Structure 1
Amino acid sequence: MADSFDFIIVGGGTAGCRLAYRLANAPSAPSVLLVEAGDRPEGKYLYEHFHRYTPATLRPDLDYGYSSQPQQELNNRSIPYTRGKGLGGSSIMNFAVYLHGSREDYNRWADLVGDKSWKWEHVQKSFQAIEQYDFDHASHYPHLAMPDVKDHGRDGLVKVSLPPQLEEGIASTMEALLAHGERLNVDPNSGNPIGISIFPSSYSKDGRTTSANAHLLNPPRNLTIWTGEPVYRLQFDGSKVVGIERADGRKATSNKDVILCGGSIDTPKILLLNGIGPAKELEAHGIKVVKDLPGVGKQLRDHLMTILCVEVQDSHNKRYAFETSEELMKKAEEDWARDKTGNLALYNSALWGGFLKLPGLEDMEEFKALDPGMQEYLLRDATPTFEFIVQSVLVPPGTKLPEGSSYLSAIAFLMNEQAEGSITLRSANPEDKPVIDLAYLRHPYDKRIMREAIRATWTKVFENPEIKKHVKNRLFGPKSLSDEGIDEFMRDTVTTVWHANGTAMMGKKENALACVDKDFRVFGVDGLRVADLSICPVVTNNHTQSTAYLVGQKAADKLIAEYEL
């Protein structure tokens, strides 16, 4: 006989762990089952600040191994698409940036779905309930960061902080940009991200916070966790979902709801495999249509990026010297093992950058061709056009630098992608990986803004007079800053930030591509909801881990209220 629970959550990722925690700790103590395809992550590289970027490259056991279709605007390159596999999901693998985005993202979200609870003034309170914000470290560099205590939460479970100490070169590089006209934003999580800031992260003195170590360390008895096998099948009673079946045949039934939290790739995959999606696509694979929902797997949008890098004199920073010294690395590992201090807590603990408006945006032909509603949103004061980050990895990987040299890298990001990609099935076999079409740079607006973002990032950082005097050579970047030079570089290098969303979009019923309503219910399918980044009707201007937490929080609010938990 199948096990029975009030709620079944499919996917123990960033949103799923938060949702499981909230439901299981509701006063009525409903029974909750959390089902995760991966296991409990353990081993190397998972917690130290220095290893911010390492799990995505050196822990393939924690990744689903997805890759996109060849992208026609990117020299037909396939883009590896890292997704965290294990309790905590992509919060295990991400780069730990913790940014809320723009207040205008959530105001637009509220308008699109017809639910005022997504307005910024409500969303900000939700973020406060999620966060355990550390304000103390900002006092070490108050001229660069000063988050307002009243805008952030202290009693949540997700630890958010700024680094206690800045690496060499960070303060001077920020100050160089500020001296040449950039605007300082002492708190990018205030609802207005415009300006340059030190970015908060989901690291603390204890290391990386994942959704699992925040929410699942001491689960109550009414929360059951199954790991190690994916869910491929939903169990139906007519058109109502009443349970799930794992790949190994183990089943469970739900008394109230099954909630999919598989993320923007696996949630649409599960829906499609179970007959929920565009009828013609399902029929082509011999799948019985349970509900014709044209939007399932559609509307995929993402953030795009490319890395730029120069060789600098080691008077600017000592990153390369540390990274290539066995002696220094051994000492750092000993310090971390003893009390979580030392260079593994210092290096890569800080990322800084900016969310900026592009001057003259409204005069660009690519902008003028957009829908008027999108134009209005993009021109709002707190809606950025692009993002840049400084203090990232050395590229190309494996580059050897001479003694006396180090490196300085910057990343240019496209915000508000206009092209629409998709997730479709390769076959009716659930073991087959889905077809991921990212549609990168297929829209004229995306191509223009990505080009301008690269040009602006290179110019603002590497051409700044105070920084340029340290620069020795270009390591990775366009051969020239002409349109042609940048376009060639984009085709060779643009890749993902792993922020896919929208593939089971929330919206009003009259929107033909909407898949779930404002209460996270799948249209036309009783007993089934979705609560992950696939529901996003707006590509939030941030790094989307915080948005995933927010979705889990909001879904819990709806369920607790509806069922009077």
Structure 2
Amino acid sequence: MDEFDYVIVGCGAAGSLLAARLSEDPTATVCVLEAGPPDRSPWIHVPAGFIKTLKDPGVTWQFSTEPTENTGGRRIATVQGRTLGGSSSVNGMIYNRGQPGDLDSWAQHGNRGWGYADCLPYYMRTERRIGFGDATRRGREQGIPVTDMDWIHPVSEAFIEGCVGLGIPRNPDYNSGDQAGVGYYQRAILNGRRVSAYRAFLHGALSRPNLDLRTNARAAEVMLEGKRAVGIRYLSERVGTPTEVRARREVILSGGTANTARLLQVSGIGPSWIKDRLGVEIRHALPGVGENFRDHYASRFVMRAKPGVLTLNELARGLRLGGQVARWAARRPSILATAPSHVHVFWKSFEGLDQPDLQCVFTPGSYKEGMVYVLDDYPGVTAGAWQHRPESKGWVRARSRDVFEDPELQPNYLSDPMDVRVHLAGMRLTRRMLSTPQMMALMAKETLPGTQVQTDDELLDFAKRNGSTTYHLIGTCKMGPETDPMAVVDDRLRVHGLSGLRVVDASIMPSMTSANTYATTLMIAEKASDFIRGREAVAA
């Protein structure tokens, strides 16, 4: 039996950062278990390779949601990373912190030390901002390199100019704490290559003698002795004897929103239904494990460009693609080194709101209806929108004790009436932004859903049949005080009622941030590293 001070389950965004920070102490030993393989696929490191990796079960969990009436009876692919770097090795590379009010709300619900002012130093510690930014709010020294978009398309400029004409101001830095406006996304790309959390934080630390990284190690059970977590049993293959690795100090779960909840459930930690459904003895009752599950749900519009307007659709084929590959090899701006979303719009669904409640995206390219990242045969552009803070909540539930079987994911998209109202407003805003004079000078017509779709009922029907995930899964191990019956961890991320066990990933978010989840997951891990090492919190 192996024994370490800390055993970390998952080497994604949170696990990579945590392992790097904890192993900085030469007196502490750290073991990291990653269910997937090393990040050797070349498609991981080429930013445009996300089109390939999202469909590759070798480096991703091919999760899908349960069908509902609000998704037209469809299952929606909700892919997550399963390799070193986790989802940071397959995601859209967008760096987006959200609004200060997101975190202030966490603090107001009883999570001490989680307000925006408390968390800002930890955001800064996780990024190396390259480009414009206020030095009192942006990190410059270490962490994820955060760069500006360098491949600029004329159609993107026209889209931005059109938004400004609608009264939406340009915003040079939406990560400054003032999010409202339109501009280009910031992303984790440097010199034309993706920089995952694993590459940014952990890869350079692997020479440390106190750090042990194990790939293809699928956690099967949290080992408990009474009310203390003492280790992890993991499997390297479906049929075989589990390997045990013990933790002298702590077991830390960083497997992600779906896998962390599942691991707790199959370990007998969770709601009462796990006994009958899984045949697992309830070792520690926690009704909130797997509940409070949320995701962003997006609907996208497509416009066909006029003849002569080149978009990503044409640049990604034939001789033009060869030219883009040559530019990428020479470290010059190219379509191979861009994020899938180019332009952001953070704006309001209705007049009178204090802050934006919508995130909109624009790309100078379009994909075939119903197909994941398969480009249209004609030149086109895409824009879409989703609600910042959805109220619809669902669950993640293990189907069996077999951790090779995917869990049941049910986010209950659009089940809350307010979500429907805001989603419809976002769709109408998207159509307005695509129909400005600047855009109509370049566009021929709307192809999806088409101008025949006009009423709320027609738009909602389209959203149900064509809307999709943004892969922003959160909430299944909610952070909150003991007085909250659905809270799973306290404000130091310790599992309520157990010792030696923490959760450090996006599953602890009590509510959705008005952003992509990657930047905040890194912040959570950075803050947790101080908790675990017994360090004083950085001054707010």
Same structural fold, with TM-score higher than 0.5 when normalized by the shorter chain: yes
1:394 corresponding residue in structure 2? 366
SS at structure 1 position matched to 2:321: helix
Residue range with higher mean Cα deviation, 80-89 or 327-336:
327-336
Matches within 5 A, 1:165-564: 165-219=151-205, 220-248=208-236, 249-313=242-306, 316-324=309-317, 326-337=318-329, 339-345=330-336, 348=339, 351-360=342-351, 381-382=354-355, 384-391=356-363, 393-396=365-368, 397=371, 401=377, 406-460=379-433, 462-478=434-450, 479-561=452-534
Distance 1:48 1:429, change over 3 A: closer
- Cα deviations by residue, 1:91-137 (Å, 9 ceiling, x for unpaired): 01111110100000011112223312x221221111111111101xx
Residue range with higher mean Cα deviation, 535-544 or 68-77:
68-77
Distance (Å, rounded) in 2 between the aligned partners of 1:467 and 1:315:
14
Distance 1:67 1:401, change over 3 A: closer
In the superposition, the TM-score normalised over structure 2's length comes to 0.93
1:37 to 17, 32, 35: 35
Distance 1:279 1:421, change over 3 A: same
Shift of 1:416: 0.9
Distance (Å, rounded) in 1 between the aligned partners of 2:90 and 2:233:
27
Shift of 1:226: 0.6
- Cα deviations by residue, 1:242-289 (Å, 9 ceiling, x for unpaired): 111111422111110000001110001000001100123334432111
1:55 to 53, 56, 70: 53
Shift of 1:45: 2.2
The alignment covers a number of residue pairs equal to: 525
What is the identity percentage for the equivalent residue pairs of Structure 1 and Structure 2? 24
Q: Which runs of 5 or more structure 1 residues have no equivalent in the other structure?
A: 136-145, 362-378
- Cα deviations by residue, 1:197-236 (Å, 9 ceiling, x for unpaired): 2111111214111011111222222111011120111222
Shift of 1:392: 5.8
1:372 corresponding residue in structure 2? none
The Cα RMSD (Å) is 2.0
State whether residues 6 and 256 of structure 1, in contact with CA within 8 Å, keep that contact through their aligned partners in structure 2. yes
Distance (Å, rounded) in 2 between the aligned partners of 1:216 and 1:500:
23
Distance (Å, rounded) in 2 between the aligned partners of 1:336 and 1:356:
33
Q: Which amino acid aligns with 1:193?
A: Q
2:127 corresponding residue in structure 1? 131
Distance 1:334 1:465, change over 3 A: closer
Residue range with higher mean Cα deviation, 388-397 or 483-492:
388-397
State whether residues 395 and 476 of structure 1, in contact with CA within 8 Å, keep that contact through their aligned partners in structure 2. no
Distance (Å, rounded) in 1 between the aligned partners of 2:306 and 2:27:
59
Distance (Å, rounded) in 2 between the aligned partners of 1:350 and 1:90:
16
State whether residues 40 and 87 of structure 1, in contact with CA within 8 Å, keep that contact through their aligned partners in structure 2. yes
- Cα deviations by residue, 1:130-155 (Å, 9 ceiling, x for unpaired): 111101xxxxxxxxxx5323321111
1:121 corresponding residue in structure 2? 117
Distance (Å, rounded) in 2 between the aligned partners of 1:123 and 1:527:
24
Distance (Å, rounded) in 2 between the aligned partners of 1:167 and 1:469:
15
State whether residues 297 and 470 of structure 2, in contact with CA within 8 Å, keep that contact through their aligned partners in structure 1. yes
State whether residues 93 and 339 of structure 2, in contact with CA within 8 Å, keep that contact through their aligned partners in structure 1. no
SS at structure 2 position matched to 1:127: helix
Distance (Å, rounded) in 1 between the aligned partners of 2:289 and 2:338:
42
State whether residues 350 and 425 of structure 2, in contact with CA within 8 Å, keep that contact through their aligned partners in structure 1. no
SS at structure 1 position matched to 2:42: coil
State whether residues 35 and 226 of structure 1, in contact with CA within 8 Å, keep that contact through their aligned partners in structure 2. yes
Distance (Å, rounded) in 2 between the aligned partners of 1:47 and 1:450:
34
